[in-house]
Chain A
Amino acid sequence: MRAPALRELQAGFWRSLHSGAPDAALVAAILPSATLTPAERVSIYQSMYVWRLHEVLGEDYPKTAEALGDGFESVVRRYLERHPSEHPSLRHLGRHLPAFLARDAATSERPWLAELARLELARTNAFDAPDAVPLRATDLHTIAPEAWASVRFVPIAAVEVVRSAWPVHEVWADPTATPSPRDTLVRVWRQEFRVFHAAIDALEASALERLVARAPFAAICDAVVEHVPPENAASSAGALLARWIEDGLLAAFES
């Protein structure tokens, strides 16, 4: 029998891992051991492939895995079939899982699970987002009163707003819960090296999205005015800014 070229051999090996069925040409190229047939030897790699990546996805999506219970493994198998790893680092293996779950049969009766996965992905993204030294309240004293309208705050990289049709933060706290649909906004951020998330109101979400878009402070105040009476706008904007400073969301400002 002709010896397979290296690339041909690797193609057969990859097909065996990806499909779960041992490739006939690969099996023909493998010697039996004293205790195992060639196909049994290939199956060691096939098992390890799924087991390892199942473990990684379980670590990245612990709440989603808990909610899916025994069904998580079959989700992982279908996911790997559709989205084999495209990156040398396992860090990126699960990046398509929320979108995958939104279309997968496993969540057709529990559509909030795709949203739960989206929250978990946002937390992972915050975990290793670039570092920043947050602004302190005293740093704002250098902003001249007449410059406030045009000042642009620079948010830390580790902040994101997750918009969901479900109270996804409550599902995160109890993955086995059956929630009622409710438009929900969740802020995900990292302070020092700890990742947090918290439900926020529409006012803060709107203002935060403008902050992330690097809009001037006047535009952030406009977002506030859309949600509170004009006489309360200044105090609401000030409170919002104070909260962002306290939570370490602001990295810098540009006058």
Chain B
Amino acid sequence: MGISVPYLGHGVGLRRQHYSAILDEGRRADWFEVISENFMIRGGRPLSVLERVRSERPIVLHGVSLSLGATDPLNVTYLAELGALARRFEPAWVSDHLCWGSYDLRYAHDLLPLPYTEEALDHVVARVCAVQDALGRRILVENVSSYVAFAHSTMPEWEFLAAVARRADCGILLDVNNVFVSAVNHGFDAYEYLAGIPLDRVGQIHLAGHTDNGTHLLDTHDHPVRAEVWDLYRAAVRRFGRVSTLVEWDERIPPFADVLAEAERARAAEAEVLADACARTA
């Protein structure tokens, strides 16, 4: 059946460092992605800013603490807060990560990797279904960058992600930078990864910068998007067509205009690929 979400164009993450550029200078992206947990608060400026932004642009809620792969019970209080946030701000969709981040009711605040096994697959599928039931909507699940691979994994990550999407009937937030980072760290082919993702499940694409630490790549979100990742993005557009795309920039955050410029680069890359595809079919 696939996932059906609106095409929003090219967005950026809503970050507090840019509040005044957005509110006072009137600068806007096509849409904004907000970190859900940052707005699970009772009042104050962030919620007021989000109200204002939402009145003018679509937003999506992107969580980091759903802990879909954790073996603790789902945090029902968190889910209720996420549901309330979604009812209040009516995001175009809600997303979180294919990972775990909590154990024994303690939170690591990191996107920790899963082994790609049948056990983990059954577990994650059941959790995604439970979350979607609780929220009353389908969610998008994002692939993470990883730095370890487990010896007992029985399938590649892309096969695991595709199976989660198919069996839980959820969408995929395809982080192209994360595909690239993990491909280098684990020695797989990033283009084979893309080829393994079903055509009808990708609702959003993430782009970001990473850091080359020599022995491994680190997903730092503190640089412009690297050339190899732009190439992979073009391949993703060729495969999946027009998909809402967002540039993440979370460390060493530059002026809003620079982040917007990166989103414009994504728009240009998408247009170039789609024009080329049209020319070939004409």
A interface list, Cβ under 8 A from B: 3-7, 9-11, 13-14, 17-18, 29-31, 33-36, 38, 40-42, 44-45, 48-49, 52-53, 56, 84-91, 93, 127-132, 157-158, 190, 193
Contact = CB atoms under 8 A, between A and B. Distances in A.
B132 interface: no
B41 interface: yes
B154 to A, nearest CB: 9
Which of B71, B107, B218 has most chain A Cβ within 10 Å? Answer: B107
24 contacts: A3-B117, A3-B151, A6-B115, A10-B71, A11-B103, A14-B103, A29-B151, A30-B150, A34-B187, A35-B216, A36-B215, A36-B216, A44-B148, A44-B216, A49-B109, A56-B109, A88-B67, A90-B109, A128-B41, A128-B42, A128-B46, A130-B43, A190-B44, A193-B45
A87 B42 contact: no
Interface residues of B, number: 48
Contacts of A40: 215
A129 B152 CA distance: 47
Interface in B70-108: 70-71, 75, 78, 100, 102-108
Interface in B10-58: 37-38, 40-48
Contacts of B65: 88-89
B103 A13 contact: yes
Contact of B110 (A7, A10, A45, A84): A45
B43 A131 contact: yes
A5 B150 CA distance: 12
Contacts of A53: 109
B18 to A, nearest CB: 16
A85 B42 CA distance: 20
Contacts of B134: none
Interface of B: 37-38, 40-48, 65, 67, 69-71, 75, 78, 100, 102-110, 112, 114-115, 117, 119-120, 123, 147-152, 185-187, 214-216, 218
Contact of A41 (B119, B120, B147): B147
A41 B70 CA distance: 20
Nearest to B70: A10
A5 B115 CA distance: 10
B110 to A, nearest CB: 6
Contacts of A88: 37, 40, 65, 67, 75, 78, 102, 107
A13 B151 contact: no
Which of A5, A18, A193 has most chain B Cβ within 10 Å? Answer: A193
Nearest to B45: A193
A17 B45 contact: no
Contacts of B38: 89, 91
A6 B122 CA distance: 11
B128 to A, nearest CB: 15
B266 to A, nearest CB: 27
B14 to A, nearest CB: 16
Contact of A31 (B75, B106, B151, B215): B151
Contacts of A33: 149, 185-187, 215-216
A131 B44 contact: yes
Contacts of B187: 33-34
Contacts of B110: 17, 45, 48-49, 52
A166 to B, nearest CB: 28
Contact of A157 (B42, B69, B78, B114): B42
A129 B48 CA distance: 12
A130 B112 CA distance: 33
Contacts of B103: 10-11, 13-14
Which of A4, A7, A89, A93 has most chain B Cβ within 10 Å? Answer: A89
A132 B44 CA distance: 10
Which of A10, A31, A44, A158 has most chain B Cβ within 10 Å? Answer: A10
B72 to A, nearest CB: 9
